[in-house]
Amino acid sequence: MANISAGLHHLQKAAKSAVSPDSKTVDLENDTVEPGKNQSMTTDYGIKIQDTDHWLRAVDDNHNGPSLLEDQIGREKIMRFDHERIPERVVHARGTGAFGTFRLFESAQDVTTAGVLTDTSRTTPVFVRFSTVQGSKGSADTVRDVRGFAVKMYTAEGNWDIVGNNIPVFFIQDAIKFPDIIHSVKPEPHNEIPQGQSAHNNFWDFVYQHTETTHMQQWVMSDRSIPRSYRMMQGFGVNTYSMVNAQGKRHFVKFHFLPELGVHSLVWDEALKINGQDPDFHRKDLMDAIDAGHYPKWKFGIQLIPEEKEHDFEFDILDSTKLWPEELVPIRYIGEMELNRNVDEFFPQTEQVAFCTSHIVPGIEFSDDPLLQGRNFSYFDTQISRLGPNWEELPINRPVCPYMNITNRDGAMRHRITKGKVNYWPNRFEINPPASAAQGGFSSYPEKQSGIKARTHSAKFKEHYNQAQLFYNSLSDIEKLHVAKSFSFELDHCDEELVYKRATERLSYVDLQLAQLVAKNVGAEIPTRALKENRGLKSKGLSQLEYLPDTANITTRRVAILVADGFDQTSYAGMKSALKEQGAFVFTIGPRRQAIKAATGEEVVPDHHFPGMRSTLFDATFVPGGKHIEALSKNGNAKYWITESFAHLKPIAGVNEAVGFIESQTKLPGVRFATTASNNTTVESYGIVTAHGTPTDVFRKLGAVGKDSKGFQEQFIWQISRHRNWQRELDGLVDQVAA
């Protein structure tokens, strides 16, 4: 009682002193606190918290089980986080979206009753929103970050949301830690720095404190986190769901989207420059492709594990920091998603679209994945905070099938008008009754539950390094080099010695050589032994280079043609025609955005001029022959264009007089890009394609395009389809700093 009285006296005293007698303003010092090591964490209502890392669950002997709604500590933590920012999304604020369709080409009725996955005659409308995670709405598109890949399917049974990422795993295992990981990666609270990147002390301190993040660190420091385009990245559902068939048999499932165009990335120096040169690069790229009729497509696949085999793996299949290796659980591709219509107005569609992991349809159900369980609560609560209680009535969010619930009434921004006398069930009129399972009513799988209440996970959740090694081992040499440079860049920005030393040490659990290289670069102590033996295991589908198509597909690739007065019209027109025939976007770049004259008098008006455009915004460059080479050789922007393109590993092509110009800007000591003067001879060296000969010989009718193509145009097209010439970097011809 004495303690309560003392506390009340303190509050009364603070209230009196909170207003300065002369200024009548609030004295902020009375509301300023400084947390310390000896000050225990409490809830906002004062009780001390024993465990802030695990949601309260009902667990069986394997420590698996559902999360409990009664966890007042977990609910407070998540709900306070959900409502931190209004109205911008706390995460995934920077994004863009498009409409499209989903079609099924193989029924999955053997594992589910969901009509969208069993009825091959359907065409299901979809809306997809791509996004970065950490930056604000005003941040740039090409920062190093996880990308959101959220799909809303407007099915005949109701909306189904797959709220995924372009990476199949996540940083944390339990949803109660989500506020912590996002707080750590967001700008630091004392100075609101940095925006849209993870290269700072708090993030790397957090991931060191949580060994479960080790696997995800490898993915985020790989090329996956700087995609070339939203159209060229995979989508993963991340969480484990369930499917139930007509016989009541249950399978665990993960969802996959594989892009038709392959999986491609930027290089780091290029990504940094695009951030400033065109911060809307990704959203423009998506909209331009759809406007041009080049609709991006993804194959839709499912991984399935029968319920009885849940515990047959060395990892816990409900752990969101683990993937299911394809050798153990093959992906079954059963459908295709196409995006074919841009939004009409950005705000009411892209900004107001709202996704929920809890939006499922009959035949698809949840699992005891502890990250999913918390997301199911958090996402719905967050949408109420951002858009109000009637957010599901907004046109972009409401289902296309009939919907009615007489008990859902009122609330801010309610616009649906429901007639009648009653707003409850049961009622005397028997209005709006629930539907039976036979009528399509959602019926949950009768999973048996028993256990004790505890804040814990299964023993398999405690293993945090095997799959980090699996991912790193599966990468190509160039991808491994990029991982090392990414860690080096990030940790070089950490100015607290304890932070970058610890983070570097953690890499010794993944790969000793990786740890040694990064330690040398960032000034940490160089480790001499691995802290965990690398078993050398690899898995299919983890390296992006596995997704290079066998054929030369350059649809929507952006190719620049550099010209000045005196260019050769025949070679210019021949290459432009060949590229456009293959579906590429071709842009003419010149010294001015007014007519440029060819040597034979023809005129072209460039799409851009050199000071207004950069090589970073294109996938490849062609320089036609002609007397204009003399002018280009004196133009610093044109010269740097070639040098920068070479440094970014992009294909470059030139004919006749242009060959010497290209060589002069790309040649390094000890490297010779050989060319031959005989007619129609093509030489490809490190992705540089050159030819000498009469234009009519060099630019003959386009032939078959492939790896062994002999023709000049065909070889250039093939090199563009390879995305980059990684050998330049591997052989040390360029140093991508942190690419």
Residues with a catalytic annotation lie at: 92, 165
**What are the residue ranges of helices labelled H in 237-369?**
268-277, 281-291, 346
Q: How far apart are CA 498 and CA 167, in angstroms?
A: 29
Cα angle value 426/427/433 (rounded, 5°):
55
C-alpha span between 335 and 59 (Å, rounded): 36
- What region, left, alpha or beta, does residue 411 occupy, with left being phi > 0 and alpha being psi -120 to 50 degrees? left
Report which DSSP code applies to 328: T
Phi first, then psi, for residue 264 (nearest 5°) are -135, 155
> With helix as H, strand as E and coil as C, how does 213-256 read?
HHHHHHHHCCHHHCECCHHHCCEECCCCEEEECCCCCEEEEEEE
Q: How far is C-alpha 381 from the geometric centre of its chain's CA atoms? A: 23
| 3-class state of residue 608 by DSSP | strand
Which of 551, 554, 552, 514 is closest to 531 using CA atoms?
514
Q: Nearest-CA neighbor of 561 among 368, 445, 720, 411?
A: 720
Q: For the purposes of burial, counting CB atoms within 10 Å of the CB of 195, is it exposed (0-12), middle (13-18) or buried (19 or more)?
A: middle
Amino acid, res. 586: V
How many CA atoms lie less than 13 Å away from 700 in the CB half-sphere? 13
Name the β-bridge partners of 655.
691
**520-529: Cβ within 8 A, 24+ apart:** 521/484, 521/488, 521/491, 521/492, 522/487, 522/488, 522/491, 522/492, 522/494, 524/491, 524/500, 525/501
What is d(CA 312, CA 252) in angstroms, rounded to the nearest whole number?
Answer: 13
User: Counting beta carbons within 10 angstroms of the beta carbon of residue 9, is it exposed (0 to 12), middle (13 to 18) or buried (19 or more)?
Assistant: exposed
Q: How far apart are CA 537 and CA 370, in angstroms?
A: 27
Q: In angstroms, rounded to a whole number, what is the distance separating the alpha carbons of residues 142 and 284? A: 12
Contact 106, 349 (CB under 8 A): no
